[in-house]
A = this chain, B = another copy of it.
């Protein structure tokens, strides 16, 4: 490998300097460009296609559940935000305000949406009249601005990001509770099936819930860098927004009722999590199901075999249309240069074909994640490639599950918790669920936060909080997190 070829590769190691490694992956794999406005990033085509594929996965699941897409205005009058007290307190420190248009001052400041509960529910109040209008299930795909003052990290914490926000209205609390979990399940499916990332489904603590919600459910994961991250959330809003925005409906008995609401969101943060999870010192790794291009065909040219090999490579690429393969027949790059580039960009499988392979009626498949080489008979290529892609997809998830398992410490004492935090692990413990206890845990661990209280796990009878010794009310995950 020539010196110049090395330099275009990633020069930091994931295990040595995670932050520098991440910056190099997102810039060198052509995912992100930094803009002149701090915290705002360009999603380059390599990143946007990942978002498109995530959108398409989620959108079809939403539609199966009877959700319809709509679009509400970007700009929200200040007085809307003020109507739900907890909500405005939570969001106003981060709002970007439009105060002037053309050469005129606006009479009332307009917020760029930090989330759309307030503007959507203002309209819902007009749309909902009777029980026949329920459930109302509406989603929008849009951009969001939250002017955070923490250190920005591309994808993970940016001042503008893309997301979908779903906002459902249900007749009863029970329906809301079920709906909240159903939408969370869709998110968990997207992470596990498409992104090959295992998640923990559970309930956020009171302190960590959405501003204005009755409760928040989340999916969380633990990443190779030794930090946890919230992947997506589904909020039970209860009736507080309905009351603030005067949403009501007439039930079957002609009685006026207040409905129950939920909201649920999934953002471009998911792309950051994906990169941090699966990528390696050679660059991006895209799970096959997520990848737009499943494979790249690289002809291996020696001396006078060029025409023959190129023509075979082209034939191969044509045969593999269903995999949306790339044919890299550039003449000004060496095969080695091409290998590096496509590894950097995360194409799941490389298909090599050279003069000897043609003689032997074979091709070489190389897996992006393991570098494993497979010699495959030409006539079996289609089937073998399918198989390999499936294996790679399930291996990625399996390995991630193993990593999650080995990163989880079931702590029986606070000392074990403190040691596990030092070891960059995630802790599973018994908890009293009190906010004061949560604050103290954070202080004493130098910043570890509760992730969520996993569904389906009950505290043992008589168990005590691993931190404060009071009666335990739930199992909780605790870790340092993004």
Find out whether the CB atom of A68 lies under 8 angstroms from the CB atom of B45.
yes
B-contact 0/1 string along A122-144, CB 8 Å cutoff: 11001100001000001000110
Nearest Cβ on chain B to A205's Cβ, whole angstroms: 25
The oligomer's copy count stands at 2
Find out whether the CB atom of A71 lies under 8 angstroms from the CB atom of B43.
yes
B-contact 0/1 string along A54-81, CB 8 Å cutoff: 0000000000000011111111010000
Find out whether the CB atom of B37 lies under 8 angstroms from the CB atom of A77.
yes
A145 and B75 contact, Cβ closer than 8 Å, known pairs A93-B103, A101-B95? yes
Which residues of B are found within 8 Å of A40, using beta-carbon distances?
A: 73-75
- Of B35, B48, B98, B162, the residue contacting A112 (CB under 8 A) is B98
User: At the interface, yes or no: A119 with Cβ under 8 Å from chain B?
Assistant: yes
- Of B42, B72, B100, B160, the residue contacting A75 (CB under 8 A) is B160
Cα of A95 to Cα of B103 in the assembled complex, Å: 9
Which residues of B are found within 8 Å of A142, using beta-carbon distances?
A: 143
Cα of A96 to Cα of B36 in the assembled complex, Å: 19
A35-55 interface with B by 8 A CB criterion: 35-37, 40-45, 47-49, 51-52
Find out whether the CB atom of B123 lies under 8 angstroms from the CB atom of A73.
no
Find out whether the CB atom of B101 lies under 8 angstroms from the CB atom of A147.
yes
Cα of A69 to Cα of B147 in the assembled complex, Å: 25
Which residues of B are found within 8 Å of A100, using beta-carbon distances?
A: 96-97, 99, 109
Told that A48-B71, A52-B69, A75-B96 touch, could you supply 7 new A-B pairs with CB distance under 8 A? A47-B70, A75-B160, A92-B102, A99-B99, A99-B100, A100-B109, A142-B143
Q: Would you list 14 pairs from A and B whose C-beta atoms are within 8 A, ordered by A residue?
A: A33-B127, A35-B119, A36-B122, A40-B74, A42-B123, A43-B71, A48-B70, A48-B71, A96-B100, A96-B110, A98-B112, A101-B147, A102-B147, A142-B143
